[in-house]
Chains A and B, each alone.
Chain A
Protein backbone atom coordinates (compact mmCIF):
# COMPACT_ATOMS: atom_id res chain seq x y z
CA UNK A 1 0.00 0.00 0.00
CA UNK A 2 1.09 3.54 -0.68
CA UNK A 3 1.51 5.58 2.47
CA UNK A 4 3.15 8.62 4.00
CA UNK A 5 4.05 9.29 7.60
CA UNK A 6 4.51 12.57 9.40
CA UNK A 7 6.44 11.75 12.57
CA UNK A 8 5.77 15.05 14.35
CA UNK A 9 2.32 16.08 15.52
CA UNK A 10 3.50 19.62 16.15
CA UNK A 11 6.48 21.77 15.28
CA UNK A 12 7.23 24.98 17.13
CA UNK A 13 9.55 27.56 15.61
CA UNK A 14 10.40 31.18 16.24
CA UNK A 15 9.60 33.70 13.54
CA UNK A 16 12.56 34.20 11.24
CA UNK A 17 14.00 30.76 11.95
CA UNK A 18 14.08 27.92 9.42
CA UNK A 19 11.05 25.67 9.34
CA UNK A 20 11.14 21.96 8.51
CA UNK A 21 8.16 19.62 8.45
CA UNK A 22 9.07 15.98 8.01
CA UNK A 23 7.48 13.38 5.78
CA UNK A 24 8.52 9.85 4.86
CA UNK A 25 6.88 7.72 2.22
CA UNK A 26 6.38 4.09 1.32
CA UNK A 27 5.40 3.32 -2.25
CA UNK A 28 5.80 0.72 -4.90
CA UNK A 29 7.08 2.31 -8.04
CA UNK A 30 7.81 5.98 -8.57
CA UNK A 31 6.46 8.31 -5.88
CA UNK A 32 4.18 11.23 -6.67
CA UNK A 33 4.35 13.37 -3.53
CA UNK A 34 2.44 16.46 -2.48
CA UNK A 35 2.28 18.99 0.32
CA UNK A 36 -0.91 20.78 1.32
CA UNK A 37 -1.57 23.39 4.00
CA UNK A 38 -4.77 23.97 5.95
CA UNK A 39 -5.17 27.33 7.63
CA UNK A 40 -7.68 27.60 10.50
CA UNK A 41 -11.24 27.14 9.27
CA UNK A 42 -10.07 26.92 5.68
CA UNK A 43 -9.73 24.23 3.05
CA UNK A 44 -6.65 22.39 1.92
CA UNK A 45 -4.37 24.49 -0.23
CA UNK A 46 -1.85 22.94 -2.60
CA UNK A 47 1.75 23.97 -1.87
CA UNK A 48 3.95 21.87 -4.12
CA UNK A 49 4.50 18.46 -5.65
CA UNK A 50 7.27 16.13 -6.70
CA UNK A 51 6.71 14.11 -9.85
CA UNK A 52 10.16 13.64 -11.28
CA UNK A 53 13.28 15.64 -11.95
CA UNK A 54 15.04 17.95 -9.50
CA UNK A 55 15.09 16.77 -5.95
CA UNK A 56 14.45 20.30 -4.70
CA UNK A 57 10.94 21.43 -5.49
CA UNK A 58 9.84 25.02 -5.07
CA UNK A 59 6.27 25.90 -4.25
CA UNK A 60 3.93 28.59 -3.04
CA UNK A 61 4.52 31.11 -0.22
CA UNK A 62 8.29 30.54 -0.19
CA UNK A 63 8.07 26.86 0.65
CA UNK A 64 10.24 24.18 -0.88
CA UNK A 65 10.62 20.46 -0.38
CA UNK A 66 13.53 18.11 -0.74
CA UNK A 67 12.98 14.68 -2.20
CA UNK A 68 15.44 12.07 -0.94
CA UNK A 69 15.05 8.67 -2.52
CA UNK A 70 17.58 6.86 -0.35
CA UNK A 71 15.88 8.08 2.83
CA UNK A 72 12.38 7.86 1.33
CA UNK A 73 11.70 11.34 2.60
CA UNK A 74 10.03 14.47 1.28
CA UNK A 75 10.56 17.15 3.91
CA UNK A 76 8.94 20.57 3.59
CA UNK A 77 11.13 23.56 4.30
CA UNK A 78 11.03 27.31 4.56
CA UNK A 79 14.19 29.32 5.18
CA UNK A 80 12.54 31.97 7.34
CA UNK A 81 9.19 31.22 9.00
CA UNK A 82 6.43 33.79 9.41
CA UNK A 83 3.74 33.91 12.08
CA UNK A 84 1.24 33.57 9.23
CA UNK A 85 2.74 30.16 8.39
CA UNK A 86 1.07 28.75 11.50
CA UNK A 87 -1.23 26.08 10.12
CA UNK A 88 -1.75 22.35 9.67
CA UNK A 89 0.46 20.77 7.03
CA UNK A 90 -0.26 17.53 5.23
CA UNK A 91 2.03 15.36 3.18
CA UNK A 92 0.31 13.12 0.63
CA UNK A 93 1.17 10.47 -1.92
CA UNK A 94 -0.69 9.72 -5.12
CA UNK A 95 -1.74 6.08 -5.09
CA UNK A 96 -0.63 4.89 -8.51
CA UNK A 97 -1.63 1.30 -7.80
CA UNK A 98 -5.31 1.54 -6.90
CA UNK A 99 -7.94 2.63 -9.38
CA UNK A 100 -8.55 6.34 -9.42
CA UNK A 101 -5.08 7.28 -8.19
CA UNK A 102 -6.39 8.98 -5.08
CA UNK A 103 -4.28 10.96 -2.63
CA UNK A 104 -3.39 9.25 0.63
CA UNK A 105 -2.54 11.68 3.41
CA UNK A 106 -0.31 11.62 6.42
CA UNK A 107 -1.69 12.49 9.82
CA UNK A 108 -0.73 16.13 9.55
CA UNK A 109 1.74 18.33 11.42
CA UNK A 110 0.62 21.44 13.24
CA UNK A 111 3.10 24.27 12.85
CA UNK A 112 3.18 27.07 15.39
CA UNK A 113 5.38 30.05 14.58
CA UNK A 114 5.90 32.32 17.56
CA UNK A 115 6.76 36.01 17.22
Chain B
Protein backbone atom coordinates (compact mmCIF):
# COMPACT_ATOMS: atom_id res chain seq x y z
CA UNK B 1 0.00 0.00 0.00
CA UNK B 2 1.57 3.26 -1.21
CA UNK B 3 -0.56 5.47 1.01
CA UNK B 4 -2.04 7.30 -1.99
CA UNK B 5 -5.81 6.77 -2.16
CA UNK B 6 -7.86 7.17 -5.29
CA UNK B 7 -11.63 7.00 -5.77
CA UNK B 8 -13.54 5.66 -7.55
CA UNK B 9 -11.61 2.57 -8.60
CA UNK B 10 -13.86 1.95 -11.57
CA UNK B 11 -16.18 4.26 -13.45
CA UNK B 12 -18.31 3.74 -16.53
CA UNK B 13 -19.93 6.74 -18.12
CA UNK B 14 -21.37 7.88 -21.43
CA UNK B 15 -19.84 10.16 -24.00
CA UNK B 16 -20.42 13.82 -23.33
CA UNK B 17 -20.62 13.36 -19.58
CA UNK B 18 -18.42 14.80 -16.84
CA UNK B 19 -16.66 12.90 -14.07
CA UNK B 20 -14.51 13.78 -11.09
CA UNK B 21 -11.66 11.61 -9.87
CA UNK B 22 -10.45 12.08 -6.34
CA UNK B 23 -7.02 11.60 -4.80
CA UNK B 24 -5.72 11.73 -1.25
CA UNK B 25 -1.94 11.95 -1.14
CA UNK B 26 0.35 10.22 1.33
CA UNK B 27 0.33 11.82 4.74
CA UNK B 28 2.69 14.79 4.70
CA UNK B 29 3.14 14.90 0.93
CA UNK B 30 2.55 18.34 -0.55
CA UNK B 31 2.91 17.54 -4.24
CA UNK B 32 0.28 15.73 -6.30
CA UNK B 33 0.70 14.49 -9.86
CA UNK B 34 -1.89 13.14 -12.29
CA UNK B 35 -1.01 10.66 -15.03
CA UNK B 36 -3.04 8.96 -17.72
CA UNK B 37 -2.25 5.42 -18.83
CA UNK B 38 -3.72 4.27 -22.10
CA UNK B 39 -2.76 1.41 -24.39
CA UNK B 40 -1.63 3.59 -27.26
CA UNK B 41 -0.10 6.51 -25.33
CA UNK B 42 1.55 4.78 -22.41
CA UNK B 43 1.98 6.77 -19.20
CA UNK B 44 1.41 10.46 -19.86
CA UNK B 45 1.90 13.24 -17.36
CA UNK B 46 -1.15 15.47 -17.09
CA UNK B 47 -0.66 18.03 -14.35
CA UNK B 48 1.03 18.66 -11.01
CA UNK B 49 0.05 20.67 -7.95
CA UNK B 50 2.19 21.68 -5.05
CA UNK B 51 0.60 22.87 -1.82
CA UNK B 52 -2.52 24.04 -3.60
CA UNK B 53 -0.90 25.72 -6.59
CA UNK B 54 -0.47 24.42 -10.11
CA UNK B 55 3.21 23.71 -10.70
CA UNK B 56 3.45 22.01 -14.07
CA UNK B 57 1.26 21.06 -16.97
CA UNK B 58 1.75 18.22 -19.38
CA UNK B 59 -0.42 16.75 -22.08
CA UNK B 60 -3.69 17.73 -20.47
CA UNK B 61 -6.66 18.46 -22.68
CA UNK B 62 -8.61 21.69 -22.25
CA UNK B 63 -11.65 19.55 -21.34
CA UNK B 64 -9.73 18.34 -18.29
CA UNK B 65 -8.96 20.37 -15.19
CA UNK B 66 -7.65 19.72 -11.73
CA UNK B 67 -7.25 21.38 -8.38
CA UNK B 68 -5.66 20.75 -5.03
CA UNK B 69 -7.57 21.73 -1.94
CA UNK B 70 -6.30 23.16 1.37
CA UNK B 71 -6.37 19.69 2.93
CA UNK B 72 -4.07 18.65 0.03
CA UNK B 73 -6.46 16.23 -1.60
CA UNK B 74 -6.81 16.69 -5.33
CA UNK B 75 -9.53 16.25 -7.91
CA UNK B 76 -9.24 15.69 -11.64
CA UNK B 77 -12.29 16.81 -13.59
CA UNK B 78 -12.91 15.32 -17.01
CA UNK B 79 -15.69 16.83 -19.09
CA UNK B 80 -17.30 16.32 -22.51
CA UNK B 81 -15.97 12.82 -22.38
CA UNK B 82 -15.03 10.99 -25.55
CA UNK B 83 -14.42 7.31 -26.18
CA UNK B 84 -10.70 8.02 -26.40
CA UNK B 85 -10.65 9.26 -22.82
CA UNK B 86 -11.08 5.71 -21.60
CA UNK B 87 -7.93 5.01 -19.62
CA UNK B 88 -6.44 4.37 -16.22
CA UNK B 89 -5.86 7.63 -14.37
CA UNK B 90 -3.17 7.64 -11.72
CA UNK B 91 -2.60 10.04 -8.92
CA UNK B 92 0.82 10.20 -7.32
CA UNK B 93 2.34 12.19 -4.51
CA UNK B 94 5.69 13.23 -3.14
CA UNK B 95 6.93 15.37 -0.29
CA UNK B 96 8.23 18.19 -2.44
CA UNK B 97 8.66 19.03 -6.10
CA UNK B 98 12.35 18.34 -6.22
CA UNK B 99 14.06 15.12 -7.17
CA UNK B 100 16.40 14.99 -4.24
CA UNK B 101 17.09 11.86 -2.22
CA UNK B 102 14.05 10.60 -0.41
CA UNK B 103 11.61 12.33 -2.71
CA UNK B 104 10.23 9.26 -4.35
CA UNK B 105 6.94 9.72 -6.17
CA UNK B 106 4.38 7.17 -4.93
CA UNK B 107 1.39 6.15 -7.01
CA UNK B 108 -2.14 5.17 -6.14
CA UNK B 109 -3.98 2.17 -7.54
CA UNK B 110 -5.61 4.29 -10.22
CA UNK B 111 -9.13 5.01 -11.39
CA UNK B 112 -10.33 3.00 -14.37
CA UNK B 113 -12.50 5.17 -16.59
CA UNK B 114 -14.54 3.58 -19.35
CA UNK B 115 -16.45 5.89 -21.68
CA UNK B 116 -19.20 4.16 -23.66
Contacts and interface: CB of A to CB of B under 8 A. Distances in A.
Interface of A: 32, 34, 36, 42-46, 49, 51-52, 90, 94, 96, 98-105, 107-108
Contacts of A45: 2, 107
Nearest to A102: B45
Given A100-B55, A102-B58, A105-B42, A43 B90 contact: yes
Interface stretch (B63-71, B73-81, B93-101): B93-101
B108 A101 contact: no
Nearest to B55: A100
Contacts of A43: 2, 4, 90, 107-110
B33 A102 contact: yes
A42 B99 contact: no
Interface in B38-56: 42-43, 45, 48, 50, 55-56
7 contacts: A43-B2, A43-B107, A46-B105, A46-B107, A94-B99, A103-B33, A105-B43
Contacts of B105: 34, 46, 103
Task: Tell me the dominant secondary structure on chain A's binding face.
Answer: loop
Size bracket of the B interface: 20 to 34
A108 B42 contact: yes
Contacts of A107: 42
Given A45-B2, A51-B101, A100 B48 contact: yes
A62 B50 CA distance: 33
Contact of A46 (B31, B99, B106): B106
Interface string B12-51: 0000000000000000000101000000001101001010
A102 B4 CA distance: 17
A101 B42 contact: no
B95 to A, nearest CB: 12
A51 B100 contact: yes
Contacts of A102: 33, 45, 48, 56, 58
